[in-house]
Amino acid sequence: MAAIEDHGYVKICAELAACLSVSIASARRQVDLVASREGARDLPSRKEIAERLLEKAQQSCTKTENSSAFQLDQLLEALAEDENFMVED
């Protein structure tokens, strides 16, 4: 499918991509997938679907223990015994 070049739609997809930590193309694919399930073909309905997905993602994007951003932050923290660890001399 050809890319939709509406500025508002691209902006919503970019915000969705940032919240989900995926590429804009992946966020657009998610919107396209939901739109095809619902039979939405026009731009206003795709924008509505993208906004709905963005709201849902923003609710789960907050700093809760279930969010992927929080889990990644926890994995990247250095433990006290590993702070001075060197791989090479």
Whole-number pLDDT of residue 36 = 92
Whole-number pLDDT of residue 74 = 76
Give the integer Cα–Cα distance in Å for 50 and 75. 30
Whole-number pLDDT of residue 76 = 76
- Distance from the Cα of residue 58 to its chain's centroid: 9
pLDDT along the chain (89 residues), means of 10: 75 90 91 92 92 88 65 72 64
Whole-number pLDDT of residue 21 = 81
Whole-number pLDDT of residue 64 = 65
Which sequence spans correspond to the domains of the chain? 7-78
